[in-house]
């Protein structure tokens, strides 16, 4: 129904928005190769120097290892709890079912600083020392919904008749789950885990309140940015962080369809079949 | 051979069925009692949420009614409304609350205006392959490191940055955007835009072509159809997106610290500094009740508009 003029206008709109979405990300990567200590544009030359500096920086290494550790642990917890709740909500109708799915979304629907201050206050109240454990607890809490979104979208798309056919052919309950249902949802589980890792690896708003004296990589970056120190090295580290958040996301979109990387279950269902 | 087969089967069957028997007995019990299955599945995740997350929010609410000793900075567990009185009675805090809510509303409106035509193109004009490509292209910036994106804008807005360089090239001169409220506003619009595009797209994608044709058959021109048919049907998606843009802006304190000046303090910054430097947890908790109350109203309204199905 759109006139050719309107179509062209929309096309230009989309192109401009895409350009604006990607320009800052490309820019930061370009900056990482700039030789100057002072951050000015245009850059004068090209160097790998700051990546070498970051590689040999012990603080960066420790922060990186902590971020990986936290990301893996948070992803494991999110997958276990997220898949349990997805199965329950998909297979059973019970009072308060809507409430449970609302509860899952709450950590991302409520402003991030609230989750942060609430956990900080809670750990203080219960005398739990802030450390790796508390970072993981915070991250896992808002990662669960990512796994849930992925899995519930896949479960809804999986025909019930598959399980029924399996039972008719004599498979026991666990056999149906293991040999029929699990392969159907396996890629959704993997993509959920990858996204949970990416989300955790990059999180800073809640982490500030739950880390105590520990530094994850985003906390290290935030600290340097706040003080305006070692900015060329920060450029290199930030570039690495961009890659490490985007690789799992691209991987998830590749193995489980574009819908898997959606932040909402509804959109995930729309694009579940779209492959890169 | 004919004799050993039944014997072999007879000896093999009990050996094989011992673990299988236990398994099948467990799975049979679970099959007969769906409630046991549901409870086993739901208990761990619900326990996690209730014992950690909900408990944290409850303790936060309670803390908001306590106070700190000004000399020892210890929390005194006596019930008082003084934190709320302090927040509502201090003009600076009122300004900060209004600024934050205004910023969140403004960001939401701007993102909706940018997102709707974009999502419309994705859902109704682009071919399936382009659509998937656009879908991923919107989501990659969403997932790319948050700090990297804010920092990129710092480099763009800074005095010797890309923006002033480009403006100088076209002869406009330079803008001093860095460390202003405008800088914070632009960065928020940028960072949260994908969160608006995706739900709006999902809502637009679902509108049946027949409804649009019906509108045209009844004489609705393009603009009329968009305004009277497509926009109302897209509304739950827009509201779903606005939950993200509104809430994410309400809860951010990092962007104001990095690209905002001393004047662009938001609710999050008050909470952050009362936990860090000022060490006044009860006041931070009371301040946290402000965005919680705002979001509670917002979520109730969004639910009434059918936005929860779009999340």
CA distance A180 to chain B (A): 16
Instruction: Report the pLDDT averaged over residues A85-96.
Output: 87
Largest CA distance in chain A: 71
Domain carrying residue A240: 51-270
Please tell me the distance from the alpha carbon of residue A267 to that of residue A184, in angstroms, as a whole number.
19
The residue ranges of chain B whose pLDDT is under 70 are 1-20, 31, 72-73, 277-278
Nearest chain B residue to A235, by CA: B148
Q: Domain for residue A32, yes or no?
A: no
Question: To 5 degrees, how large is the angle CA B283–CA B289–CA B294?
Answer: 145
| Cis peptide bond upstream of B139, omega within 30 | no
Say which residue the tokens 């051979």 belong to: B1
Cβ contact, residue pair B206, A270, below 8 Å? yes
DSSP 8-state secondary structure symbol assigned to residue B180 = S
Q: Which two tokens stand for residue A60?
A: 């960066």
Q: Domain for residue A41, yes or no?
A: no
Count how many domains chain A has. 1
> Which of A52, A28, A53, A31 has the alpha carbon at shortest distance from A40?
A31
Q: CB neighbours of B115 closer than 8 A, spacing ≥ 6?
A: B193, B196, B197, B200, B238, B241
Long-range CB pairs of B204-213, under 8 A, 24+ apart, other chains included: B204/B119, B204/B120, B204/B122, B204/B123, B204/B124, B204/B230, B204/B233, B204/B234, B204/B237, B205/A270, B205/B122, B205/B123, B205/B124, B206/A270, B207/B123, B207/B124, B207/B233, B207/B234, B212/A1
Cβ contact, residue pair A24, B152, below 8 Å? yes
Nearest chain A residue to B213, by CA: A1
Interface test with A, best of B143, B243, B289 (most A CBs within 10 A): B143
Write the CATH number for A95.
1.10.3720.10
B104 Cβ under 8 Å from any chain A Cβ: no
B199 Cβ under 8 Å from any chain A Cβ: yes
For A122-153, letters b (16+ CB in 10 Å) and e give bbbbeeeebebebbbbbbbbbbbbbbbbbbbb
Residue A81 has pLDDT above 90, yes or no: yes
DSSP 8-state secondary structure symbol assigned to residue B78 = -
Q: CB neighbours of B32 closer than 8 A, spacing ≥ 6?
A: none
> Which of A264, A39, A62, A52 has the alpha carbon at shortest distance from B157?
A39
Instruction: Yes or no: say if A155 and A220 are a contact pair by the CB < 8 Å rule.
Output: no
Element holding B76 (H helix, E strand): strand B75-76
Question: Which DSSP string corresponds to chain A?
Answer: ---HHHHHHHHHHHHHHHHHHHHHHHHHHHHTT---SS--SS--S--SHHHHHHHH-HHHHHHHHHHHHHHHHHHHHHHHHHHHHHHHHHH---TTHHHHHHHHHHHHHS-HHHHHHHHHHHHHHTTPPPSHHHHHHHHHHHHHHHHHHHHHHHHHHS-HHHHHHHHHTT--HHHIIIIIIHHHHHHHHHHHHHHHHHHHHH--TTHHHH-TT---HHHHHHHHHHHT-SHHHHHHHHHHHHHHHHHHHHHHHHHH-GGGG-SSHHHHHHTTT---
Instruction: Tell me the pLDDT tens digit for each residue of B252-305.
Output: 999 999 998 777 899 999 999 888 766 788 999 999 999 999 999 998 898 888
> Which of A264, A34, A19 has the alpha carbon at shortest distance from A149?
A264
Q: Domain for residue A199, yes or no?
A: yes
CB-nearest to B222 from A3, A42, A265 is: A3
- Please state, in angstroms and as integers, the Cα–Cα distance from residue A15 to each residue in A21, B68, B126, following that order: 10, 54, 13
Residue A47 has pLDDT above 90, yes or no: no
Residue A256 has pLDDT above 90, yes or no: no
Binding-face residues of B in 232-251 toward A, CB within 8 A: 240, 243-244, 247-248, 250-251
Burial class (CB in 10 A: 0-12, 13-18, 19+), A182: exposed
Query: B68 forms bridges with which residues in the sheet?
Result: B75
Please tell me the distance from the alpha carbon of residue A203 to that of residue A161, in angstroms, as a whole number.
40
Residues composing chain A: 276
Q: What is the percentage of chain A residues whose pLDDT exceeds 90?
A: 46
For A46-75, letters b (16+ CB in 10 Å) and e give eeeebbeebeebeebeebbebbbebbbbbb
pLDDT given for residue B19 in this prediction: 54
Instruction: Yes or no: say if B107 and B189 are a contact pair by the CB < 8 Å rule.
Output: yes
pLDDT given for residue A242 in this prediction: 92
pLDDT given for residue B7 in this prediction: 38
Cβ contact, residue pair B161, A40, below 8 Å? yes
Instruction: Yes or no: say if B110 and B191 are a contact pair by the CB < 8 Å rule.
Output: no
Instruction: Tell me the pLDDT tens digit for each residue of A94-126.
Output: 888 888 888 888 888 888 899 999 999 999 889
Q: Which CATH code is given to the segment(s) B84-310?
A: 1.10.3720.10
Cβ contact, residue pair B258, A225, below 8 Å? yes
Task: Count CB atoms within 10 A of the CB of residue B50.
Answer: 12
Please tell me the distance from the alpha carbon of residue B123 to that of residue B197, in angstroms, as a whole number.
11
Residue A40 has pLDDT above 90, yes or no: no
pLDDT given for residue B269 in this prediction: 93
DSSP 8-state secondary structure symbol assigned to residue B74 = P
Please tell me the distance from the alpha carbon of residue A152 to that of residue A154, in angstroms, as a whole number.
5
Query: B75 forms bridges with which residues in the sheet?
Result: B68
CB-nearest to B156 from A27, A202, A270 is: A27
CB-nearest to A28 from B44, B133, B151 is: B151
Residue A158 has pLDDT above 70, yes or no: yes
Interface test with B, best of A8, A10, A21 (most B CBs within 10 A): A21
pLDDT given for residue A244 in this prediction: 86
Residue A194 has pLDDT above 60, yes or no: yes
Q: CB neighbours of A72 closer than 8 A, spacing ≥ 6?
A: A197
pLDDT given for residue A273 in this prediction: 55
pLDDT given for residue A272 in this prediction: 59
DSSP 8-state secondary structure symbol assigned to residue B207 = S
Interface test with A, best of B113, B151, B246, B268 (most A CBs within 10 A): B151
Q: Which two tokens stand for residue A224?
A: 């340097």
CB-nearest to B41 from A84, A117, A141 is: A84
């Amino acid at each position: 129904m759109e006139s050719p003029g309107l179509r062209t206008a929309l096309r230009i709109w989309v192109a401009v928005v895409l350009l604006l979405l990607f320009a800052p990300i490309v820019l930061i990567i370009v900056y990482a190769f700039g030789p100057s200590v002072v951050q000015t544009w245009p850059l004068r030359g090209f160097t790998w120097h700051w990546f070498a500096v970051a590689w040999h920086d012990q603080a960066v290494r420790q922060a990186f290892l902590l971020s990986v550790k936290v990301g893996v642990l948070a992803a494991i917890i999110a997958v276990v709890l997220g898949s349990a709740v997805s199965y329950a909500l998909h297979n059973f109708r019970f009072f308060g079912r809507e409430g449970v799915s609302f509860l899952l979304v709450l950590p991302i629907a409520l402003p991030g600083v609230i989750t942060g201050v609430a956990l900080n206050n809670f750990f203080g109240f219960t005398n739990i020392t802030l450390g790796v454990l508390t970072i993981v607890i915070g991250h896992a809490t808002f990662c669960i919904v990512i796994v849930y979104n992925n899995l519930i979208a896949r479960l809804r798309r999986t025909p019930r008749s598959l399980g029924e056919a399996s039972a008719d052919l004599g498979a026991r309950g666990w056999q149906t789950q293991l040999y029929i249902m699990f392969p159907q949802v396996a890629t959704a589980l993997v993509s959920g885990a990858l996204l949970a890792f990416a989300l955790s690896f990059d999180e800073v708003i809640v982490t500030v309140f739950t880390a105590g004296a520990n530094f994850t990589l985003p906390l290290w970056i935030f600290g340097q940015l706040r003080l305006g120190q070692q900015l060329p090295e920060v450029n290199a580290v930030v570039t690495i962080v961009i890659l490490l958040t985007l690789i799992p996301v691209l991987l998830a979109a590749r193995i489980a369809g574009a819908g898997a990387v959606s932040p909402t279950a509804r959109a995930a269902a729309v694009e579940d079949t779209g492959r890169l | 051979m004919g004799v050993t087969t039944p014997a072999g089967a007879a000896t093999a069957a009990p050996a094989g069925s011992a673990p299988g028997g236990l398994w099948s007995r467990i799975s049979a019990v679970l099959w007969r009692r769906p409630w046991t299955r549901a409870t086993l599945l739901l208990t761990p995740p619900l326990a996690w949420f209730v014992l950690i997350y909900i408990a944290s929010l409850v303790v936060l609410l309670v803390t908001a009614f306590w106070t700190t000793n000004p000399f020892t900075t210890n929390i005194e567990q006596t019930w008082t409304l003084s934190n709320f009185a302090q927040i509502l009675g201090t003009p600076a805090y009122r300004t900060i609350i209004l600024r934050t809510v205004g910023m969140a509303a403004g960001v939401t409106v701007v993102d909706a205006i940018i997102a709707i035509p974009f999502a419309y193109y994705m859902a109704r004009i682009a071919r399936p392959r382009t659509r998937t490509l656009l879908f991923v292209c919107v989501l990659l910036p969403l997932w790319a490191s948050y700090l990297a994106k804010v920092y990129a804008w710092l480099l763009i807005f800074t005095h010797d940055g890309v923006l002033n360089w480009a403006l100088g090239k076209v002869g406009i001169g330079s803008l001093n955007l860095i460390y202003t409220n405008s800088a914070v506003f632009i960065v928020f619009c940028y960072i949260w835009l994908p969160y608006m595009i995706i739900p709006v797209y999902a809502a637009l994608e679902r509108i049946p072509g027949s409804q649009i044709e019906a509108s045209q058959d009844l004489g609705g021109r393009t603009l009329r159809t968009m305004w009277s048919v497509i926009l109302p049907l897209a509304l739950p998606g827009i509201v779903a997106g606005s939950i993200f843009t509104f809430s994410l802006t309400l809860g951010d304190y990092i962007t104001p610290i990095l690209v905002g000046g001393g004047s662009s303090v938001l609710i999050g910054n008050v909470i952050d500094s009362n936990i860090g430097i000022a060490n006044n947890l009860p006041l931070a908790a009371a301040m946290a009740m402000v965005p919680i109350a705002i979001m509670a109203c917002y979520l109730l309204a969004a639910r009434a508009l059918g936005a929860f199905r779009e999340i």
